[in-house]
Amino acid sequence: MGLFDIFQKKKADANWESAYKANPSFYTKPDGSPFCAFALTEGTETILPRAPHYAVSGKEIQEYKLMLVSATREGILGDCDYFAAIRKLEAFALDTDPNNLLIKGLSLSELEELRK
């Protein structure tokens, strides 16, 4: 199996239409600065933007987080820096396009590894 075959398999397994498209949620830190978070839930194929860029009330968002949600533990495992997580999630991508990654449904242990 060559390198090209690996990419073909990834695309064959990818179903963009049935995947959850992560939506941005906006919050305010105690100092008043806004931040943005996206959720990644255990066992759920998810579409995440490669490089989100938003502004709220004229303030450009400087901080992006990935919230890790466990179905097994029925709650939030924690959060991590979005851009550091995206680099790690490349290994779990079923498919990509210039703006998004389609991530396979991750196990609880895979989600926990993202926090390290």
* Total tally of structural domains belonging to the chain: 1
Q: pLDDT value at position 2?
A: 47
Query: Does residue 5 sit within a domain?
Result: no
Q: pLDDT value at position 86?
A: 96
- Using pLDDT thresholds of 50, 70 and 90, give the confidence band for residue 4: very low
Query: Does residue 6 sit within a domain?
Result: no
For 55-96, what is each residue's pLDDT tens digit?
988 889 999 999 999 999 999 999 999 999 999 999 999 999
CA distances (Å), origin 32, targets 28, 55, 59, 61, 102:
6, 14, 10, 12, 33
Range of the domain at 18: 14-114
- Give the CA count within 13 Å in the CB-facing half-sphere of 97: 9
Query: Does residue 9 sit within a domain?
Result: no
Residue 3 has pLDDT above 60, yes or no: no
Structure tokens, 89? 């999630």
